Amino acid sequence: MSNKASNQLFLLIKSLSKQEKRYFKIFSNRHSSDNNNYYKLYQIISQQEEYDEEKVIEKLKDQQFVNRLSIAKTRLYDQLLKSLNAYHSSKTVDSELFFILQSIEVLYHKALYKAAWKKLQRGLKLAKKYEKYELTLQLYKWEHKLLEKENYESLDSDNLDLMWNAESTVVDQIKIYNKLWYIKSKIFKILFYSGSRTRKNIAMVNLFLKKNIDSIDQSELSVRSKFLLHHIYSAYNYSVNELEKSYDHLKLNLQLMERFPWMFVDNPYTQISLVSNMAFIGFKLRKNEDINSLLIKLKELKKAAEASDVNLHIRWFYSYYSIYLAVKSAHQSIKIDQFEINQIYKGLDKFEDNLPTFRRLDLQFALSVYYFKAGETRTALRGVHSILNELNSKLNPEMFFAARFFYLVLLLEMEKIDYLNVAWTSTKRSLSANKSLSPEGFVLKEFFDQVCKNGQPDLYTLLEKLIANLDNLKLNRYIEYFDFKKWAIDKKESFQTTDAMAS
């Protein structure tokens, strides 16, 4: 097993919940031989904070299988996966349907066709209730085999037509859902990952949506397809700053979830994502009552997230704390809640290998804004400097330039004019190398150009102009990271307060 594969074994072991660990102990006692060598290896690796193969070999030096450690690690990895499959076999609808399919196959090959048919009907009923269309097609294949085996004795021509119509409907629903998934992925790639949400990109998405969504018959959508359609519209409306429309589509999805709760029972990710998105947009729309109830609802999901898999725990961690920081940072004056901040840093350390880079940097950005609003500008500056050392304009242009401009704001606040000039020169080089700067980026570029061009700039006048220019923008995507307009207004007001006190 290569070092990379060994690391995958280590990560798999570290991802296990307490219940999964307990189950693996029982499972390995039942299914392993050779004095349970795999479990010995598992125990040694599970006690490590970082994978160290030399220490593993040292602890196993008296064991014969240490000479075949690579094989042992591979088999341990497979044993862990088998244990996890067994542990989760009855926890999701998909798992239950896979079990039914396996049972049908076994019964069919035993020539127990009536028993297989009974299992088949149970599977079709379950798959229909939960809209598991892909698995429904696999069940239909077994239906074909069973009908062929009895020479179609129980099937007349009308029933055959009904079967064909039912199967065609399932295929159509799969096509619709897959097309919606493609549309969603294409939009997200253009607007959220490939580049800034410029007018050009938004126009591209408009054309793409019109061409593809209009061709879908929305009158016969499944629950899952309706949910995905509202998700697409919500994301699109959000990208063009139509926040009320975006929020309305999220509310429609919440209604779907409340009306058909069994449809989402095996996907807690969806619940966490929906609630967190509603809270985030509700925060922007100042829906204070909604935000408070949604944050409470999201916090209540923590135990369920921790008890599930590591990916769900990560999703909850990112969702809850990104909103928490945004809400706290919106207050005029804030006091550092050290307990919550410690929880964030612990989470960042714990999920370092699993948290997507842009999510981790997003949280670090939010932390820097939080520190700035709490008056700890130096801490904020160190945080943004760390982000810029890792982030580049290709990974996430909007975050990159928002961080660049926020870094300049912090230097301006600290009156580090020499550092500001150096940082602005570096920023201009990055700007010239990037062809997708957003409109607010150009506005901020003009502002800092004027600030750094003059030895003693009239900052009050420049702030007035900056506020006016940001007001004229239809879109303001940097606001996701830092509200430059609010900062400019507060900074301008601080000049007025100082002048009033002086007079």
295-316 pLDDT, tens digit per residue, is 888 888 887 787 777 888 898 9
Residue 461, Cβ density class (10 Å: 0-12 exposed, 13-18 middle, ≥19 buried) = exposed
* Domain closes at, from 105, 132, 155: 155
Helix (H, G, I), strand (E, B) or coil at 214: coil
* Domain closes at, from 41, 66, 87: 87
Amino acid at the residue 99: F
Highest mean pLDDT (candidates 161-165, 201-205, 249-253): 249-253
Same domain as 108, residue 77: no
Closest CA to 128 of 261, 220, 222: 222
Closest CA to 239 of 273, 270, 198, 272: 198
Same domain as 80, residue 39: yes
DSSP sequence for 408-426: HHHHHHTT-HHHHHHHHHH
Same domain as 107, residue 127: yes
Query: Residue 8: which domain range?
Result: 3-87
Q: Please tell me the total count of domains within the chain.
A: 2
DSSP 301: T
Dihedral pair phi/psi, residue 241, rounded to 5°:
70, 20
In whole angstroms, give the CA distance from residue 421 to residue 246.
Answer: 40
- Please say whether the beta carbons of 252 and 230 come within 8 A: yes
Highest mean pLDDT (candidates 228-242, 384-398, 489-503): 228-242
DSSP sequence for 143-164: HHHHHHHTTTTT--HHHHHHHH
Joined together, the tokens standing for residue 311 give: 């990916």
Residue with tokens 């896979």: 98
Residue 411 Cα to chain centre, angstroms? 32
For the segment 138-167, the average pLDDT, to the nearest whole number, is 88
Same domain as 108, residue 75: no
Residue 444 has pLDDT above 70, yes or no: yes
Same domain as 77, residue 9: yes
Q: Torsion angle, CA of 92/94/97/103, rounded to 10 degrees?
A: -90
Residue 290 has pLDDT above 70, yes or no: yes
In whole angstroms, give the CA distance from residue 311 to residue 332.
Answer: 34
pTM exceeds 0.85:
no
In whole angstroms, give the CA distance from residue 64 to residue 339.
Answer: 48
Encode pLDDT of 71-122 as tens digits. Answer: 888 888 998 998 888 887 767 888 899 999 999 999 999 999 999 999 999 9
Q: Tell me whether residue 117 is in a domain.
A: yes
Q: What is the pLDDT of residue 51?
A: 87
Same domain as 112, residue 83: no
- Please say whether the beta carbons of 366 and 329 come within 8 A: yes
SS3 content of the chain, % helix, strand, coil (to 5): 80, 0, 20
In whole angstroms, give the CA distance from residue 291 to residue 213.
Answer: 31
Same domain as 99, residue 69: no
